Amino acid sequence: MTPLNPSTPGAATSPTNTETQLIVHVVDEQDDVQFDAARYERLARSVLDDQGINQASELSVLFVSSEVIADLNEQHMGHIGPTDVLAFPIDEDVTQPQPENDAPLLLGDVVVCPSVAATNCSTNKNSYPGHQGTVTDEMDLLVVHGILHVLGMDHAEAEEQRDMQELERVHLTAFREREP
């Protein structure tokens, strides 16, 4: 498996935001799809802010090849083959107030496969208002979906799935309204 390395050339890492001390690392470790890494930093910040994550926190969003995500999918989920997004929460109860200390709350990692997103984007067209079937629309959805998983949401039950999809739509709509 290719190691995930945040020092990869082209990786975008945000400076610490002095107001919320939110650190978002966006790392591109694939060559299949070109995209604006800064967009996904802004999207992650938007979701975290709207979800009330306002303490010192850290999140990584990693974009990887289909081979890397297939390895992760098999290793961690027991499924063979590539998937579109995986989420790896680190600190539990991220929505609860944390004790005062200097260490940021480690939210976790969201791992997205842009080549799988490119394959799925036309199928998922109109899955939420504004999804026009582009790779960017699909990657936006996957990043939001992964962040919600890191924050503890799930979609195993029908009601959970409805709630999560509604929240995805809310976040995507709000982000699009804020973007120039």
Q: What per-residue confidence (pLDDT) applies to 6?
A: 38
Alpha-carbon dihedral 29, 31, 34, 35, rounded to 10 degrees:
-10
Taken in order of first residue, the domains within the chain and their CATH numbers are: 12-178 (3.40.390.30)
For residue 39, what are the contacts with CB-CB under 8 A and spacing of at least 6? 136, 179
Per-residue pLDDT tens digits for 69-96: 999 999 999 999 999 999 999 976 555 5
Per-residue pLDDT tens digits for 104-142: 889 999 999 999 999 999 998 988 888 999 999 999 999
Specify the pTM: 0.85
- What percent of the chain shows pLDDT beyond 90? 72
- DSSP3 helix / strand / coil % (the chain, rounded to 5): 40, 15, 45
Distance CA 100, CA 81 (A): 42
- Residue 25 is encoded by which pair of tokens? 């690392």
Number of neighbours of residue 169 by Cβ within 10 angstroms:
17
